[in-house]
Amino acid sequence: MRIYADTSATRARVAALLAARPPARPLTLIVDDRPGYALAQLIAVARSSAPTLVVTANRSPFYLHDLLGFGPQGLAVVGREPVDFADLAQRVARGETFYEGPPLPPDPLTERERTVLRLLATGHTNAAIARRLGLSGGRVSNLVMSVREKVGVENRVQLALAYFDLLSLWQEMLAGA
């Protein structure tokens, strides 16, 4: 079993939890312990033949749609309650495909808009997005404006925060300042 987590402490805790009830077959477990970590790792292991389980606390429908788009066998959105990693891993090892999380509304973004949002949220400039997708700078600017309107935010910083489920925290911090 491969465990991916941004911190060694998280990897060690999860490994200890799974030691008592290891999954019946090899799988990849990705713990989203920092914003965007699971997405980056899921993209990296997408060609792996091992089934994949992703555990995240991110409740952003845009981020969750992206994670699901990369095809993990299991995706669990968790809160403050303890996570039964062994049960989730056993389910994926048995071949079960599941999503456990908030109900997802239909994705209002086109595939191209979702790609632009993902790239923008992970720090790409409009010029870098244009080069990567083979689009003109004007086309990328139009796509960013369309995404901003659909997400209901005013700027690209708010877009990134919304993607990583941090917008409300940022708004609370501004209100308290």
Given this model, what pLDDT does residue 171 score?
60
Q: Quick one: CA dihedral 5, 167, 136, 110, positive or negative?
A: positive
| pLDDT values of the chain reduced to their tens digit, one per residue, 177 residues | 899 999 999 999 899 989 988 998 999 999 998 888 999 998 888 777 889 999 999 999 999 999 999 999 999 999 878 889 999 999 999 999 999 999 999 999 999 999 999 999 999 999 999 999 999 999 999 999 999 999 999 999 999 999 998 877 666 666 675
Given this model, what pLDDT does residue 159 score?
94
Q: H-helix or E-strand containing 150?
A: helix 137-151
| Residue 30 near residue 4, CB atoms below 8 Å | yes
Tell me the domains of the chain and their CATH numbers: 2-100 (3.40.50.2300), 111-176 (1.10.10.10)
Given this model, what pLDDT does residue 173 score?
65
Tokens found for residue 103:
């109900």
| Residue 166 near residue 35, CB atoms below 8 Å | yes
Given this model, what pLDDT does residue 24 score?
87
Given this model, what pLDDT does residue 48 score?
76
Full-model pTM: 0.88
